[in-house]
Amino acid sequence: MIPGHFRARLGVNGGNQRFDTVLMGRATYDVGRKAGLTSPYPHLRQIAVSNSITGPPDPAVEVFGREVISEVRALKAGSGKDLWLAGGGRLAALLADEIDELILKVNPVVLGAGTPLFGAIIGPRPVTLIGHKVYSNGFALMRYRWSP
SS3 category, 72:
helix
In our burial notation (b when 16+ CB lie closer than 10 A, e otherwise), range 88-127 reads bbbbbebbeebbeebeeeeeeeeeeeeeeebbeeeeeeee
**pLDDT tens for each residue of 37-64:** 899 888 889 999 998 887 778 999 999 9
Q: What is the pLDDT of residue 112?
A: 78
Task: Point out which residues pair with 101 in neighbouring strands.
Answer: 145
Dihedral sign for Cα atoms in the order 77, 62, 2, 114:
negative
**What is the pLDDT at residue 86?**
87
pLDDT in tens, the chain (148 residues): 666 665 666 666 766 778 899 999 988 898 888 888 899 888 889 999 998 887 778 999 999 988 999 999 999 998 788 999 987 788 999 999 999 999 998 888 888 777 788 988 898 999 999 999 999 999 999 999 998 7
Give the pLDDT score at 18.
83
4-146: CATH topology: Dihydrofolate Reductase, subunit A (3.40.430)
Q: Are 134 and 140 in contact (CB under 8 A)?
A: yes
